[in-house]
Copies of this chain bind each other. A is one copy, B any other.
Amino acid sequence: MAFDCDAHGVYPIAPTPFHEDGRIDDESVDRLTDFYVEAGATGITVLGIMGEAPKLDQPEAIAIAARFIRRARGLPIVVGVSAPGFAAMRSLTRAVMDAGAAGVMIAPPPSLRTDDQIVTYYRQAVEAIGTDVPFVIQDYPMTLTVIMTPGVIRRIVMENPSCVMLKHEDWPGLEKISALRGFERDGSLRHISILCGNGGLFLDFEMERGADGAMTGYAFPDMLADVVRESRAGRRDAAHDLFDAHLPLIRYEQQPGTGLAVRKYVMMRRGILGSDAQRKPGAGLPAAAKVEVEYLLSRVSRVDARAAMPVGARA
């Protein structure tokens, strides 16, 4: 499926796999990519906030993105290029687009406050990366402290034809999806794809409000793909039943500050990552939390067998 305004399904936010000593774990990158393809992903997002992008220097970032791109054999790869300034954003964008990326994702810097500041920022960012590079707006106020009204998002979309997608992770955000889809219906906004983040915590209802899928890093993207499929097929109760079985773990993984440790631990436990190591200042999962995660997995496995066993060998 193409990365464009009609994209739907699941774009997992890929974690960046590290060895215990902090080096990048290339084998796990490959295994992770294969896993996403098999899990039914319609794209992959790399170098997001939860991909520990700020902990990489630029040569590392380019190398990782390129490896995902080569391995994904055609699945569109979106690369997070948020940076403190436009020069670094441009050089990273050019490098990954040259390597075959489908597009980039841009988050607003936390200093932005007024509507005009936000709109101007995206205008200048597009000018920096080039108007031919498809991009995703990341709307994530809980972490970024930047609040974009539906009207501001409309201004950005209408002003920049290269905008193809919104990564929606406002919170609360259900009314925002409805507002944007309402703008489309009244003709004031062209159609864009909306994929939702926030660890999937509201995916059940986001789909019903008009979202096209998920862009998030929950450790069971295969489950997210199922929920999106069931929901798009109109099987509401089935979608909620599966979602609710995972919700205790989704919620546990969604804790700010510790969520990535949970996610990497579960993905290691599933045989996808070779290690749950993070680069500093990240920290591993405390012992008590591991026991809790195991308990949660055992409960999820009563409904979803994928929680019970590794998806592959780790050799």
Contacts and interface: CB of A to CB of B under 8 A. Distances in A.
A288 B209 contact: yes
A188 interface: no
Interface residues of A, number: 63
Contact of A86 (B59, B91, B209, B279): B279
B84 A60 contact: no
Count copies of this chain in the complex.
Answer: 4
Interface string A198-241: 00011011001100000000000000000000000000000010
Contacts of A174: 288-289, 292
A124 B281 contact: yes
Interface of A: 52, 54-60, 84-88, 90-91, 110, 113-117, 120-121, 124, 127-128, 142, 146-149, 151-152, 171-172, 174-175, 178, 201-202, 204-205, 208-209, 240, 244, 247-248, 251-252, 255-259, 279-281, 286, 288-289, 292, 299
B85 A54 contact: yes
Given A84-B84, A174-B289, A279-B87, A114 B147 contact: yes
